[in-house]
Amino acid sequence: MPEVSEAASSSAQWFHTGRTNILVAGALLSFLVLLFIRKAKRGEELYIRPIAGLEAVDEAVGRATEMGKPIMYVPGIMDMDDIQTIASMIILGRVARKAAEYETALLVPTSRSLVMSAAQETVKEAYLDAGRPDAFDADRIRYLTDDQFGYAAGVDGLMLREVPGAIFYMGAFYAESLILAETGHSTGAIQIAGTAMPSQLPFFVTACDYTLIGEELFAASAYLSKEPLLLGSLKGQDWGKAISIAILVGGVILVSFGMSKIVEWLTTR
């Protein structure tokens, strides 16, 4: 006859003890982010790898100005609830500021009404910062359609009519990416693209002069603004990723020699 065990009882805990590793990782990442933010605020120079696509923004705007042609900025086909669209608005601000300084027309066709409103405010603020509020034209930032391929056709038609000297594709793109990039290439414009959609990156890499791949799009805000808060956050996250990779590599080596204790510690229960 099996023995009868005592009744089980629960006890209050501050956190799940089986997830101590998650607590340690979160605390370490928070410490690194706060550390680098403090360094940035003190004026220490934080190195960020040069991103060719962002370095070429001024070159593209300058080329369009020299040719006497407008600039076109395509912010993707998703709404403002998509992080890629939000990142795109930050880059749009930089492009608009340069366009205002060089007195070059900026066209922004959108596929969502909220994106149009956000783009108008972003460009308006950029022109104001550049000291050219009188040059801002809200009619150049227009809504086309929510339909995916209807939007692609509308943007292509705008490209062929206006023949821009520089075209930017920044945001979330799907099957329309190659249609847009091929048409832009046929106009002879310098093209800079950026997206976090893995399935569309090959088309942009093939048809565009520069491409921001994945997280490079999200790092643009820190890269362009040089704000201490953003720079510190970016640097802290990068160090967190580097430490994670080092732990994984070290874990593989230890397990190869039969030391499996690290696996138990890294496993979340």
pLDDT band at 4 (very low <50, low <70, confident <90, very high): low
pLDDT value of position 61: 92
CB 269 within 8 A of CB 263: no
Domains delineated in the chain? 21-47+227-266 (no CATH), 52-225 (3.40.50)
Residue type, 96: A
For residues 143 and 116, is the Cβ–Cβ distance under 8 A?
A: yes
- pLDDT (tens digit per residue) in 164-180: 999 999 999 999 999 99
Q: What is the mean pLDDT of residues 186-214?
A: 93
Give the mean model confidence (pLDDT) for residues 236-257: 88
Q: Report the C-alpha gap between 269 and 266 in whole angstroms.
A: 10
pLDDT in tens, 61-106: 999 999 999 999 999 999 999 989 998 998 999 999 999 999 999 9
pLDDT band with cut points at 50, 70 and 90 for residue 45? confident
Whole-model pTM? 0.82
Q: Is the pLDDT of residue 8 over 70?
A: no
| Alpha carbon distances (Å) from 237 to 9, 48, 230, 231 | 41, 12, 11, 10
Which residues in 62-91 are b (16+ Cβ under 10 Å) and which e? bbbbebebbbbbbbbbbbbebebbbbbbbb
Residue type, 72: M
CA 79 to mean position of chain CA atoms: 15
